[in-house]
Amino acid sequence: MTRFKLTLEYDGGPYVGWQRQKNGPSVQAALETAAQAFCGVEVVVHGAGRTDAGVHALGQVAHIDIAQDRDAATVLDALNHFLIDEPIVVLSAEAVEETFHARFSATGRHYRYRILNRRPRPGTTRGHVWWVPVPLDVDAMNDAAQELIGEHDFTSFRATLCQAKSPVKTIDRLIVRQEDEEVVIEVSARSFLHHQVRNIAGTLALVGKGKWSRADMAAALAARQRASGGPTAPAEGLYLVRVDY
């Protein structure tokens, strides 16, 4: 039995999310179907993060255990062969120790949120950005974002149905920058609450529109209730960029 670490990219648009579900296709199920076609037996795929419906990945990490004697190059090519009809690509495969776990061994996760900030709607990036046609004040957004750096109770920025045992998380890095016609939000932490990044993005957009200030952001954080936070930004602008180990 060999455990393989897989690094993946995918378009989350067609899926109900990472996790296997009965109500539609998932990234996990597509990978497990490909692995079964390759191995001839059922294989469970474990992911580093359970991305929501419509959320994309540039560097999702997963692991699988394969009983047959196969090298990493063969696993990579075989999985990509059986995923040919899916917008999922295995970027790399690496044999790792049995103690490695894609989710529990992770020490950091990095997300990017893309806002197309122009008057015309998106064309080629449709489904991959949040379109905000009114001008955003990027400097004000970045300034307000600093209120969220460090360890906090993020109840105001997590989904009401979030199942995490504690709302306390530590954000290590949070910046907002301009990149051509896009406003890009980059955030890093060991782990995140359900909808935390999307709720932060939605709240920062209020700041960018001039409706909120940095003080409003601080007050929302201190309130520790979801109703005090801003709206949830659409899933289509969110990307899991990288996972650290």
Place of tokens 């954000």: 171
- Phi, psi of 145, rounded to the nearest 5 degrees: -60, -25
Q: What angle do CA 139, 143, 148 make, to 5 degrees?
A: 140
- Amino acid, single-letter form, for residue 8: L
The pair of structure tokens assigned to 231 is: 């709206």
DSSP state of 211: S
Residue 52 appears among annotated catalytic residues: yes
Which is catalytic among the residues 52, 69, 71, 139? 52
Q: Say if CB 192 and CB 109 are below 8 A apart.
A: yes
The whole-angstrom separation of Cα 53 and Cα 44 is: 20
Q: Say if CB 135 and CB 40 are below 8 A apart.
A: no
First to last CA, the chain: 22
- Amino acid, single-letter form, for residue 183: V
Q: Say if CB 24 and CB 114 are below 8 A apart.
A: no
Active-site amino acid positions = 52
